């Protein structure tokens, strides 16, 4: 169970890294998704982390575990991206930014 939670958090880290890159460069949605997969694979490859090895699942070749885990992280990052966009959209709807700004402006009597 802890391994699954760690993968969810690592997916969130990958999603935020993609957002960081997106803050400097305008990324289309497809490029953002590919970047999430690439960062996920690079991160698990560099850390030599395999979700499947933690569960005792073996692959034919040793490199397949970190690559498969990285692809999973890319998919989870895409999921996190959609969830966070949904929460941000709901927050903007509940707290309308225009009315919030107007309430902060002092009115002349």
pLDDT in tens, 11-30: 999 999 999 999 999 989 89
Give the residue with greater pLDDT, 76 vs 104: 76
**Rama region for 57: left / alpha / beta (φ>0; ψ in -120 to 50; rest):** beta
Give the residue with greater pLDDT, 53 vs 92: 53
Per domain, the residue ranges of the chain are 2-93
Distance CA 69, CA 108 (A): 60
pLDDT by residue (tens digit) across 46-82? 999 988 888 888 889 989 999 999 999 999 999 999 9
Predicted pLDDT of residue 80? 95
Please determine, for residue 107, whether its predicted confidence score (pLDDT) is greater than 60.
yes
**Sign of the CA dihedral with 46 first, then 51, 53, and 57 last:** negative
Please determine, for residue 109, whether its predicted confidence score (pLDDT) is greater than 60.
no
């Amino acid at each position: 169970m802890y391994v699954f939670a760690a993968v969810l958090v690592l997916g969130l880290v990958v999603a935020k890294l993609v957002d960081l890159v997106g803050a400097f460069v305008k990324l289309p949605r497809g490029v953002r998704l590919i970047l999430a997969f690439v960062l996920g694979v690079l991160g698990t490859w560099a850390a030599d982390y395999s979700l499947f090895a933690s569960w005792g699942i073996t692959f034919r070749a040793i490199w397949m575990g970190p690559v498969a885990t990285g692809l999973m992280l890319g998919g989870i990052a895409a999921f996190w991206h959609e969830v966070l966009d949904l929460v941000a959209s709901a927050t903007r709807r509940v707290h309308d930014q225009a009315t919030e700004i107007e309430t902060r402006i002092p009115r002349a009597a």
